[in-house]
């Protein structure tokens, strides 16, 4: 049976997350102080740090929850009968729209995900869930003859992810507007599939 402690811990953690989402959305991540957040969650400042190690960890936890639910949604909704290009574009565009919903959240999350201070197991876990989602799609595409079979699946997923990273970065730097994103990503993915070499070079 669940003791008082476990219950309280769950509730406190939830209260922190709720306060965080509200305040970060309202005032932005940087402008929200931990003390303020703790007050809204009805706890002392120090307590926050027994649930999360750093301020950005709070935001990170939220983002991972979101991404997890997004991944779950994608897995169940995936339509495997459309061409790979469309599948990938739609998949990454879902994530793109999700993540660009709130620039502040996305920035901190991507900064720490793509260029973390330390090598971290959490990142690898997240990556694995990613790969579990993509591999079946790619294997099926290979089976359907849409994808070369002599390539490492890891490199293929990496290839798409790299181009997605480029798109995200382009949006952050103001190079790509939200409305252009899908066209740009599709063009990049098409390039990846068809190759940059002229056909004549492929022996």
Angle at 128 between CA 92 and CA 133, to 5 degrees: 45
Report the distance separating Cα 60 and Cα 52, nearest Å. 10
**In the range 141-170, which residues lie near its own copies by CB under 8 A?**
145-149, 151-152, 155-156, 158-159, 161-170
Which C-beta is closer to its own copies: that of 116 or that of 136? 116
Residue 3 binds DNA, judged by CB under 7 A: yes
**In the range 5-24, which residues lie near DNA by CB under 7 A?**
5-6, 8-9, 12
83: phi then psi, degrees, rounded to nearest 5: -60, 150
Q: Contact with DNA (CB under 7 A): which of 28, 44, 162, 195?
A: 44
Residue 124 binds its own copies, judged by CB under 8 A: yes
Nearest-approach distance from CB 42 to its own copies, in angstroms: 31
Segment lying near its own copies (by CB under 8 A), choices 4-12, 17-25, 31-39, 191-199: 191-199
The binder of 202, among DNA, its own copies, none, by C-beta within 5 to 8 A per type, is its own copies
Asked if residue 17 lies in contact with residue 105, where contact means CB atoms within 8 angstroms, the answer is no
Q: Contact with its own copies (CB under 8 A): which of 73, 127, 128, 139?
A: 127
DSSP 135-179: HHHHHHHHHTTSS-SSS-HHHHHHHHHHHHHHHHHHHHTTSS-HH
Which C-beta is closer to DNA: that of 12 or that of 142? 12
Cβ neighbourhood burial of 12 (10 Å; 0-12, 13-18, 19+)? middle
Place of tokens 């798109």: 167
Residue 18 binds its own copies, judged by CB under 8 A: no
Segment lying near DNA (by CB under 7 A), choices 54-62, 88-96, 134-142, 143-151: 54-62
Cβ neighbourhood burial of 48 (10 Å; 0-12, 13-18, 19+)? buried
Report the distance separating Cα 155 and Cα 142, nearest Å. 14
Q: Which residues bind its own copies (CB under 8 A)?
A: 106-107, 110-111, 114-117, 119-120, 123-124, 127, 145-149, 151-152, 155-156, 158-159, 161-170, 172-175, 184, 187-188, 191-202
């Amino acid at each position: 049976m669940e003791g008082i402690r476990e219950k309280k811990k769950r509730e406190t953690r939830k209260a922190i997350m709720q306060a965080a989402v509200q305040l970060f959305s309202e005032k932005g991540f940087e402008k929200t102080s931990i003390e303020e957040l703790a007050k809204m969650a009805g706890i002392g400042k120090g307590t926050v740090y027994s649930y999360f190690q750093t301020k950005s960890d709070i935001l990170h936890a939220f983002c991972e929850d979101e991404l997890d639910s997004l991944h779950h949604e994608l897995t169940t909704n995936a339509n495997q009968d459309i061409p790979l290009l469309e599948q990938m574009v739609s998949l990454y565009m879902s994530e793109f729209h999700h993540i660009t919903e709130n620039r502040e959240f996305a920035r901190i999350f991507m900064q720490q995900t793509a260029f973390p201070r330390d090598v971290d197991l959490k990142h690898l876990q997240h990556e694995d869930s990613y790969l579990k989602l993509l591999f079946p799609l790619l294997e099926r595409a290979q089976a359907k003859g849409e994808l070369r079979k002599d390539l490492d699946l890891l490199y293929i997923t990496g290839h798409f992810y790299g181009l997605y990273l480029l798109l995200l970065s382009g949006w952050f730097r103001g190079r790509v507007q939200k409305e252009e994103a899908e066209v740009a990503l599709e063009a990049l993915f098409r390039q990846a599939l068809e190759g940059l070499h002229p056909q004549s070079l492929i022996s």
